Structure 1
Amino acid sequence: MQLYNKLSSKEREELIEQAGEERLTLSFYKYYHLDKPKNFRDYLFINWNTLDVLGRINIAKEGINAQLSVPAKKFDQFKHFLDGIDFLKDVRLNIAIEHYDKSFLKLKIKVRPKIVADGLNDSSFDVTDKGIHVDAKKFNELIEDPNTVLVDMRNHYESEIGHFKNAITPDVDTFRQSLDIIEDDLKDHKEDKNLVMYCTGGIRCEKASAYYKHKGFKKVYQLEGGIIEYARQIKEKSLDNKFFGKNFVFDDRRSEKISEDVISKCHQCGKTCDIHVNCANDGCHLLFIQCEECAKKMDGCCSDVCQDIVHLPYEEQKRMRSGRPAGNRKFKKGRSPVLKFK
């Protein structure tokens, strides 16, 4: 019985190319008490592997958070399987507006302490006492209300390439950091302002809305389905688009274009640009914004040091990485001092 990947990313990529079939990129989450998350994890892997599902999925005692790639022709089978699980029946699926067949190249299902690393003590408040979910139409109305404070619950590297009109975008590296900053900034408006939140797919707002209600905020709202669902609704219902730029996504696409606006700049030369890349040096892998000119000049690297390394023989590069942690800088996501225009 296969419970883990047996193919490398390169092997899987070749199979996808040979198949030549359209794949759908989608995501979903559900908070639910799981008594045996490891058993559920194995159950999902066995069934999804047979459907050629790929993606990154976190399972915890509090539920599931999944980003997936599914063969389009097997979507109905996949949906039927989900509906056969009581707590996932009719779960909202956020389907990407931009399709890329190689958004994921492995099926990784991991058991984690939480489905989102939020750093919160859930026993201190009622996580089910959430804010009011609103669709794109109501969201647009709320954010035009002068009595509304709109907050982006994502991290700096996400909001840097795209965010909603008039949104507060905390300059933070983690979701947990933003919670205290926002509470402190809005401490005098817990009763008189509409606190409206959004994130990529909605999952961070689920926990944040309950947290802020616990902290005394009276009018708490969240964009249902996040930016992903908002983009779908404005297109289907011909609504005004209040989002500027791209939506950062956590797969190999790295982003989805929501509007034609480019609001960020290359971290190396300062030119208008919104293309996220990872440094070509596997020992670094820093996530940053790089324009095409700098990519060519720097061989896809973040610095002269990394550029020198990628010109070394491959075995020498492997030797240099041996025994070292998996590149601490990879998690700094644009904070590195080698980037002039971060």
Structure 2
Amino acid sequence: MASLHNRVSQKELKERLYRESDARTTISFYRYFPIDHPRDFRDELYKALSALKVFGRIYVAAEGINAQISVPQPRFEELRTLLNGWPGLQDLRLNVAVDDDGKSFWVLKIKVRDKIVADGIDDPGFDMRRKGKYVDAVTFNRLTDNPGTIVVDMRNHYEYEVGHFDKAIEVPSDTFREQLPMSAEMLEEDKDRTIIMYCTGGIRCEKASAYLLHKGFNNVFHLEGGIIHYANTVKEQGLENKFRGKNFVFDDRLGERISEDVIAHCHQCGQPADTHTNCRNEACHLLFIQCPACAEKYEGCCSSECQEAMRLPAEERRAQRKGTEKGLHVFNKSRNRMRLGKKGAGG
């Protein structure tokens, strides 16, 4: 019987990835649909995808599936056929990455969760079957030509910072579960206006559209397939691209360029930049934006303090990593802007 979990070291798996002869395609997909036995579903899916040498990160819950994966290009159609024949996954939209080198994942991980998106909703009256209307790229562009349309970004600050749609509203919170009630509160006076919600691949804005309808809003839409599908569509059909900058992605790439605009700034020197990186000091591992000059100056670290820490003996660095607060490891407008300030980044 095939193992239902990976047993090989991450280092070896990454080396194997770079030795592969076949190019890979990065894909994301999701679907809200009832799964009666998520653990059994997970195990069967793991066996089937492993046979196709699929890598990636997949969450399964009673409410559905959320996946970001890569597949060898010669086996792409096999994957499509497999998913299309799976109960509940027929006619699934596969969002193909916009800016992809195929090196996004090197292992397959499928986890069972309470929900495929942590939302904090505990109201038994909430129903995902009552959700906002889809809008495609053409309709999105037409509706947003109207100055009365409200566009809401349902992603985190570090995603919004490097790229977003023209005139999109940011919901300034650290988590999706915080964003949902905050978005309803921010839009309380606009319950009858046209509201379009969007996110990376569609999963968060679809749930957010259902949440606003649940809270009494009347004219709610969400962008079909999210930014990824929009970007592919405007490119294929020669449409106006209303997205500016990069689309942050949750894999080893950390971003895919949608337009040539650079709308963010280096967190260390303030120069235009939109490349996310993790601090090389493993006791920190902070996610932040760094320009090439600062990457050289600080040797890939977020501050001079971390740069000094990198020069310590290996045993001291390991000791520093113990008990590190992982919740601080994403740069955002609240906790980590203060964190960088305390450490003297750019000083």
Further displaced range: 47-56 or 180-189 = 180-189
Map 1:267-278 to 2 at 5 A: 267-278=267-278
Match of 1:241 in 2: 241
Shift of 1:305: 2.2
Counterpart of 1:220, as a letter, is V
Structure 2: 5+ residue runs without aligned partners?
none
Aligned length: 340
Amino acid at match of 1:105: W
Rounded Cα–Cα distance in structure 2 between residues aligned with 1:205 and 1:101: 26
The Cα of 1:180 is off from its aligned counterpart by 2.3
1:169 corresponds to: 170
Q: Normalising by the residue count of structure 1, what TM-score does the alignment of the two structures yield? A: 0.95
Pairing 1:119-198 to 2, within 5 Å after superposition: 119-121=120-122, 123-191=124-192, 193-198=193-198
Moved more, 249-258 or 120-129: 120-129
Measured after TM superposition, the shift of residue 13 of structure 1 is 2.1
Identity %: 51
C-alpha distance in structure 1 between counterparts of 2:185 and 2:321, whole Å: 42
Give the AA of the match of 1:106. Answer: V
Partner of 1:46: 47
Q: Deviations over 1:294-315 (max 9, x none)?
A: 1111111112222122112223
SS at match of 1:10: helix
Q: Which amino acid aligns with 1:287?
A: L
Q: Is the 8 A contact 1:16 1:101 kept in 2?
A: no
Aligned to 2:301: 301
Counterpart AA for 1:321: R
Alpha-carbon RMSD across the aligned residues, in angstroms, is: 1.6
| Residue 279 (structure 1) shift | 0.8
Find the aligned partners of 1:297 and 1:325 in 2 and give their Cα distance: 25
Unaligned regions of 5+ residues in structure 1, if any? none
Question: What is the DSSP-based 3-state SS (H/G/I as helix, E as strand, rest coil) of the residue aligned with 2:15?
Answer: helix
Q: TM-score, normalised by structure 2?
A: 0.94
C-alpha displacement of 1:126: 1.7
> Residue 327 in 1 paired to residue 335 in 2?
no
Is the aligned partner of 1:280 residue 2:280? yes
State the distance in 2 between where 1:332 and 1:297 align: 20
1:21 positional shift? 1.8
Structure-1 separation of matches of 2:150 and 2:25: 35
**Cα distance, 1:9 vs structure 2:** 2.6
Match of 2:226 in 1: 226
1:64 is aligned to 65
AA paired with 1:77? E
CA 1:235/1:122 → structure 2, altered by over 3 Å: closer, same or farther?
farther
Q: Deviations over 1:92-133 (max 9, x none)?
A: 000012122210121111111110111112523222101010
Q: Name the amino acid aligned to 2:300.
A: G
SS in 1 for 2:68: strand
SS in 2 for 1:92: coil
Distance 1:328 1:309 in 2: 20
Per-residue CA deviation, residues 183-215 of structure 1 (Å, 9 max, x unaligned), is 222212212x10111100000111111110111
